[in-house]
Chains A and B, each alone.
Chain A
Amino acid sequence: MSVSTDTQEIIINIAKIMINELKLEDVTPETFDPDIDLIDEVGIDSMDLATVALVLQDKYGMKIDEDDYPKLTTIRLIAKYVEGKL
């Protein structure tokens, strides 16, 4: 499956994955603020991040190193990280 590597589309894809995998309510991929702090504001923890990372790894065929989790605090930062690995 080919996937878009455009940053904005990666952001939307990550938001979709988060909403689906973590069952987040009252938010859509389009309204999910890519700069909101996922830990301090959304309440995401390392198990959530691991869940999202697995799906992202499958989708984009790259590996997210667990040691990098602490840096991945917003959707935009995750998108840039993914982009850098493609």
Chain B
Amino acid sequence: MKTVSSLLDDNWYQRYKRISKLNIRSSIYDVTNRCNLRCQGCFFFSSGEHKAAVEEMGIKKWEGFIDREKERGVNLAILIGGEPTLCLDRVEAFYKQLPTFCATNGLIKVPRDRFPDMMVGISLWGDEEDEKVLRGKDTFAISSKNYEGDPYTYYLYTITPKQIGKTQRIIKKISDAGLKVHMQLLSNDEGVDGFFWKPEELKDLRAEMDDMLDQYPDTVISSKYYHEIITTGRMLGRKFGWMECPSVTQPLDKRNPQPKRLIEFIRWASDLKTMHRCCTSATRNCSTCKDGAAHMSWVMVNKRAHIRTPKDMQNWIEVYEMFAKLYQFIPW
């Protein structure tokens, strides 16, 4: 039987041991159905999820719900929306009880006196031109001022097909603002013209993402194996899709056979009762889904499949470390 230590030198084995017992159990919460932007390609609005449930307005109900989530074993709350910063009392209720990550468009600054070390991920969709087309405004100009130099904030840079050959300028702007960045790919749920991926573009993008990681190792939080997985949709000869995805809400998961999956994962709607099918839109085609967290999790839950060669195991460690850094389980 192959063992982990037989595949790794001492340095890699120590890195492995640092993460092997983290046992991260995340769930995702729609904090609100409202947003201060309406972006073309945002799955929350394009798939009607903002109308899936009537938002719970009582903060006591949120607090009780969060207590139950904690009892359920959740140790990472991922807050999305809508725009969570429109409801800071709810964000605070999570933050007081659980390690919390808040996804935001960055237009409203999370007050650090109330949330001193909460991880914040700012969405960024391409460059200024793409942002104006897809989101109606250049959000970076505002968000980078709001969060300049913040040690607990990074950009979630959603790369579009129009960004190929142009990512370096964006990464440099983020670096100059004293922030980190994690790269992911647009899934184009609303079918905006010119924003679909072609296979050759994905190949070029993978090389470019690798380059960015090499050029900006202190800014880019990523790994080359993640770039491979997200651009090819393949891992160890397997293809990503519905029967492989780990990020399906557990009580709704009737797949047979059950793939390796996130334990107790639920994506909750803002009524605190309704569950969404998965971490993204139920209307999305799973075979072309580019969700970064789902692909990362796909690698992470398939640890034993990577106990094959030293390189496979190192790849797994790098992806797990990347995830753990993004959610502050280990330092940058």
Contact = CB atoms under 8 A, between A and B. Distances in A.
A11 to B, nearest CB: 16
A39 to B, nearest CB: 5
Contacts of B254: none
B263 interface: yes
Contacts of B2: 26
A77 interface: no
B21 interface: yes
Interface in B1-27: 1-5, 16-17, 20-21, 23
Given A22-B304, A46-B263, A47-B263, A40 B1 contact: no
Contacts, number: 44
Contacts of B64: none
Interface in A23-50: 24-27, 31-32, 36, 39-48, 50
State the main secondary structure of chain A at its contact with B. Answer: loop
Contacts of A84: none
A39 B263 contact: no
Interface in B300-325: 301, 303-304, 306-307
Given A39-B21, A70-B21, A44 B1 contact: no
A66 interface: yes
Interface of A: 22, 24-27, 31-32, 36, 39-48, 50, 66, 70
